[in-house]
Amino acid sequence: MKDIMTFSKGGIHPADNKALAEQEAIRTLAIPPVCVVALGQHLGKPAECGLSPGDEVQRGSVIGTASGFISAPVHSPVSGTVKELTRIRLPNGQQTAAVIIETKDESPEVIQPSDEWRKLSEAQLLERIAAAGVVGLGGATFPVNVKYMVPKGSRVEYFVVNGVECEPYLTADYRLMLEKTENILTGIEIVRSILHPEHIIIGIENNKPEAIAVMQKAVSALSTPITVTPLKVKYPQGDEKQLLKAVTGREVPSGGLPIAIGAVVSNVGTLNAVYEAVACSRPLIERIVTVSGSGIVRPSNLRVRIGTPFRALIEECGGFIGEPVKIVAGGPMMGFAVCDLDTPVTKGTGGLLVLTEKEYKKRERTACIQCGRCIKACPMGLNPTRLFKWIDHLDYSAAEDEGLMDCKECGSCAYSCPAHIPLVQGMKLGKLMLRKKKAN
C-alpha cells in the first residue's frame, strides 16, 4: 500500500501490546476519599493557590490561578475540604506544591452541551479554553490557549489532529475516538473557528482500523472537509514533528514550532477537553488513563479525576499479578518509573503500566561497540552515541552544537542500544545543564 504514509528518518517498531486494553470500554473510577492536586502539572509556571486548610472547595472551582503567560489554572476535581497544603514529588522527579482535599459526597454532575459558543469570537473562545485549564493531553501538557495564539503574520495551513497514540500499551485516545467521536469533531469545529486552517487532517496509525473507520464515517457526514489519514505504524509518529512530516511532508525547522511550517497539532484527548471546556463550560478535572501491562489483573481504560492516587487505579483493575518490576506513569517509551503508589494522576498522565519480568529485564551496561543502531533509530537525525560522549565528558556546548536541543527524549536510541547505555538519561542531563547555563 503505497498511499499509507509515515515519517522518513529513523523510528523503531516496539511490540505495541495494545491488545491488552483496547477492547475495554472506558469506565469511570469512583471518587477517591482523598485527592492530591498538584499545582505544577502543566508546562510553564505552576498555578498559585490562595487557599488554606479548612477551606471548602466545590467540584470545578478554581484552586490555583495561572501565574504567567505560559501557565494554566488548576481546578478542584472534587467537592470537599482542603486538608493540607504540601509539596509532593511528581513521577518526572519534579517537586511541586499540592493541595490535599478530603472529598465529601457530591451531587451527580449534569453536563449540558450547548451551541451557544458559535456566537463567540476567537478571543472569547481562547479565554474559555484558558479558564478551563486545558493543556495538551498527549503528554507535553502545554497550555492549549497559548498554542492556539498564532503569531501575527503566520497563517495556519494545516490543523492536524493527533490520533496516532504511538506509545505501546496506551489505548486511551483510541477508546476516546470510538466512544466520543462527536465530542472530538465538535472540538475540531471549535478549533476551526479559532485558527481558520485551510486543511484539517486526522492522523491515525493503521494498527487502529476501527478508529480509522469510525472517524472516516463521522467526517463524511460533515459539511466541512476533514481528511482522515491512515499512517504506517512507526514510533515516534505521535510526536508532532514526525506526524507533520508524515501528513504534510514538511519538516519543522530545528528549534522551531510547528507554526513555522503553517501547522498546529492537537491530540484527540485535548480536543475532547476543548469541547468540554467550550461547549459544556466544564474545566479539566478528569482524564482517561490506560491501566495496562502484564502485571495488572484487569487492564482497563479509566475515566479518572485529576489527583486520584495511582493506588486507587490499580485496586480498581484488580491489583498486581505476581511481582511488578516497574510501575510506569505514562507510556513505556517516554513515561516515568515510579516507586510511590500515592503519586497522584495529573493532567499529563495518559497511562499507568505495571511491567513484569516478561516485559523488562534489567541488564548490565557494557561498552559502546559503535554499532550505529542509535543513529539509525533517531528520528531527529542525531548521533546519540556521540552526544552521549560529549555529555559524559561534561562538554555540554559541544553536544549543543551537534543538535542536543533537538532531542525530544523519545527513547528510540536507548531502546535499540545493545550495550544498554542510558542514552536518554544522558540527553536529559545535558539539556538540563544547558538550560541552567542559559538561565544564569
Binding-residue pattern over the window 28 to 67 for other proteins, x denoting contact by CB under 8 A: ----------------------------------------
Query: 7 and 245 in contact (C-beta within 8 Å)?
Result: yes
Nearest-angstrom CA–CA distance, 307 and 409? 26
Site pattern 364..383 for other proteins (x: CB under 8 A)? --xxxxxxx--x--xxxxxx
Residues 328-367 that bind other proteins (CB under 8 A): 328, 332-339, 341, 353, 355, 359-363, 366-367
Sole binder of other proteins in the list 326, 345, 387, 391 (CB under 8 A): 326
Measured between alpha carbons, how far is 172 from 208 in angstroms, rounded to an integer? 12
Residue window 250-289: x/- pattern of binding to other proteins, with contact defined by CB under 8 A? -xxxxxx---------------------------------
Our CB check for other proteins shows the closer of 33 and 256 to be 256
CA dihedral 405, 411, 413, 415 (to 10 degrees): 170
Interface with other proteins, residue 432, by CB under 8 A = no
DSSP characters over 218-280: HHHTSSS--EEEEE---BTTTSHHHHHHHHH---PPTT--GGGGTEEEEEHHHHHHHHHHHHS
Residue 183: beta bridge partners? none
Task: Confirm if 329 and 349 have CB atoms less than 8 A apart.
Answer: yes
92 secondary structure, DSSP code: T
Lay out the site mask for other proteins across 290-319 (x = CB under 8 A, - = otherwise).
------------------------xx---x
Among 168, 197, 269, 299, binds other proteins (CB under 8 A): 168
Q: Of the two residues 230 and 324, which places its CB atom closer to other proteins in the complex?
A: 324
Of the candidate residues 98, 272, 424, 430, the single one contacting other proteins (CB under 8 A):
424
Q: H-helix or E-strand containing 125?
A: helix 122-131
Which three cell numbers, joined as nine digits, stand for 186? 465538535
Q: For 248, phi and psi rounded to 5 degrees?
A: -110, -15
- Interaction site with other proteins (CB under 8 A): 9, 12, 14, 168, 241, 245, 251-256, 314-315, 319-320, 323-328, 332-339, 341, 353, 355, 359-363, 366-372, 375, 378-383, 385, 400-403, 406, 409, 411, 414-416, 418-420, 422, 424-425, 428
